Structure 1
Amino acid sequence: MILIYPYGEDGFYIGQPVELFPDAETGKYNIPPNATDKPPEKNGSGMWRPWYDREKEEWIEKADQKYKDSLKGPADPPSAVDQLKAQSAATMVQLAEAQNLIESQAKMIADLLLMLAEGGEA
């Protein structure tokens, strides 16, 4: 048994390998004209949109970047946990800003009290 890789009339891979058994009388494999025993790979890696060149007897990648991007689909919305993490980070930033403001106001008040204690001259 071998696997064969069928392609359509347009030369594009149909998408599923098919098991082929040898002929019972001859023991040879009769590969149909719209299939090959070469897997749709290039340099050992799979292909996005394999097309079989019958003359060269090799698979060629026919997917451009636009085609690849069309398969990705929309991005998943952030999970509830990710949303809570983002809210927590924003709250921590606000808290740090408020703490800095409190410290600067406390210094201003201390400076004013010192000025009053020294006679009110700036």
Structure 2
Amino acid sequence: MVQVYEYDKNFILTKPVLIEPDEDGEYMIPENCTTVQPPSFVKPIFHPAEKTWTEAATQEEKKALEKQIESGRVLSPIDELKAQNAAITAQLAEAQSLAESQAQMIANLYLILAEGGKGE
């Protein structure tokens, strides 16, 4: 699993996205995504030719966001990233648990086969 960063038609960051490998183990990164992690900007904008992010928010947008954060109406970018990180961590734990369950089922099937194919 790899994390990429999705951007809109104006190259503004929309969200981080987890990409699963295909059956060949290859990662197919969508066209509107990059593996380059954006800095903690208010409104990151991606420059594909340079593979860099810059800040697109104006001073007015930054001040408006600060007021919203102070009033508790929106999460700060760091709190938002913490929430996204928690969700991704939960997804990873679920995937690992599923993989362990599948490994145990396969081991049980091999044991059944080794015992002559007689299940319980």
TM-score by length of 2: 0.53
Quote the residue 2:29 is aligned against: 31
Q: Secondary structure at the match of 1:17?
A: strand
CA–CA distance in structure 1, aligned partners of residues 66 and 7 of structure 2: 24
What is the correspondence of 1:100-119 to structure 2 with a 5 Å cutoff?
none
Opposite residue 21 of structure 1, the aligned amino acid is: E
User: Share of identical aligned residues, percent?
Assistant: 30
Quote the residue 1:119 is aligned against: none
Structure 1 residue 19, shift from structure 2 partner: 0.7
Quote the residue 1:115 is aligned against: none
User: Size of the alignment, in residue pairs?
Assistant: 70
Q: 2:66 aligns with which of 69, 72, 84?
A: 72
CA–CA distance in structure 1, aligned partners of residues 52 and 27 of structure 2: 19
Quote the residue 2:41 is aligned against: 47
CA–CA distance in structure 2, aligned partners of residues 57 and 28 of structure 1: 21
The 4+ residue runs of structure 1 with deviation greater than 6 A are none
Structure 2 gap segments, 5+ residues each: 72-120
Q: Give the helix-richer structure, 1 or 2.
A: 2
Structure 1 residue 22, shift from structure 2 partner: 1.3
What is the correspondence of 1:76-91 to structure 2 with a 5 Å cutoff?
none
Rg (Cα) greater in structure = 1
Structure 1 residue 13, shift from structure 2 partner: 0.4
Structure 1 residue 73, shift from structure 2 partner: 2.4
